[in-house]
Amino acid sequence: MTKAQKLFSHLFWDSIQRWGVIHSFRRVGLAGIPAASNRVERESRLLARKFTHSPEWAHLFKDRARFRDEGGEAMAARTLVERALTDFHGALDAATIVFAHSILDDLALDACHVTMLQAPRDWAPFFSKRKVELADVENQTHDQLLSKMLADHLEVLDRKSLLAKLEHLTALCRPPPNFEGVKGFRLDQKRLVALDNLRHRIVHDGAIDAIPSIDEDLEFMGDVSRTFVALIHHRYGLQVDPRAFPTSSTSPE
């Protein structure tokens, strides 16, 4: 098994297994809401009662007795519960998007790496204008120089955006118009840009709100990752070798 075949098989495995991790993360989080709601409700009632009865808060409230008589304590408790659950849903969705985007970005880099291993000379156009030291030319073969350039470029590509990685991959794999690597699915770069912008707002602007389209977004990103596999198979004919799959006691390198 070549290095390219091995990494390609790992890419296929990860394009399935890693999304399973994310879905498990969401299922466990959502399944815990009923039990958490009961606890949050108890804690919220205690906090609301502290606001309306504790002497240490008395100086902050005007006419606490009237507030209690008019149901203010119960209203405050309900508000706290609703806020906590809303915040949880927003945090879960936001964490899911950041987690999923990170996985997709990592898989895109692996996909590019597979093509480097399988057909390193296909990457030569990316270095056509790169300057090379004379000493390097004298002391290394063309293949050695190319190998060094590929390694350096992979490090640079790792720091670039998901869209930049996808542009490299599609330029190398040259899919036909309306390519469907996953049946019924086509890459939508505008949607990828929107998801990348959403991730940016979450990470840098603190936009932690519930995301109504979260399930569809996850399905879309999963299909994108499996399209990486399909693109490579289309261009280079690589096939998945189950012998490369991790066992219960091992994990992909």
Res. 132: pLDDT tops 80? no
C-alpha pair distances (Å), 20 with each of 24, 27, 217: 6, 10, 14
Q: For residue 86, is it within any domain?
A: yes
The percentage of the chain sitting over the pLDDT mark of 70, rounded to a whole number, equals 91
Q: What is the pLDDT of residues 63-114, one digit of tens each?
A: 777 777 777 777 877 887 888 888 889 999 999 999 999 999 999 999 999 9
Instruction: Give the mean pLDDT of the chain.
Output: 85
Q: What is the pLDDT of residues 143-183, one digit of tens each?
A: 777 788 888 889 999 999 999 999 999 999 999 988 888 88
pLDDT bin (cut points 50, 70, 90) of residue 138 is low
pLDDT bin (cut points 50, 70, 90) of residue 252 is very low
- What pLDDT is stored for residue 229 in this prediction? 95
Res. 251: pLDDT tops 80? no
- What pLDDT is stored for residue 77 in this prediction? 78
* CB-CB contact of 40 with 85 (8 Å): yes
For residue 229, what are its two tokens? Answer: 């596999």
- Domains in the chain, number: 1
Please say whether the dihedral angle defined by the alpha carbons of residues 166, 167, 172 and 175, taken in this order, is positive or negative. positive
Rounded Cα–Cα distance for residues 76 and 79 (Å): 5
- What pLDDT is stored for residue 53 in this prediction? 75
**By C-alpha distance, which of 158, 229, 217 is closest to 188?**
217
> Among the listed ranges 3-7, 42-46, 134-138, 184-188, which one has the minimum average pLDDT value?
134-138
Q: For residue 249, is it within any domain?
A: no
Res. 192: pLDDT tops 90? yes
Q: For residue 17, is it within any domain?
A: yes
- What pLDDT is stored for residue 125 in this prediction? 85
How many C-beta atoms surround the C-beta of residue 37 within 10 A?
14
Q: For residue 146, is it within any domain?
A: yes
Res. 131: pLDDT tops 80? no
Q: For residue 250, is it within any domain?
A: no
Res. 137: pLDDT tops 60? no
By residue range, what is the domain housing residue 81? Answer: 3-244
Q: For residue 154, is it within any domain?
A: yes
Rounded Cα–Cα distance for residues 46 and 37 (Å): 14
- What pLDDT is stored for residue 174 in this prediction? 92
Q: For residue 140, is it within any domain?
A: yes
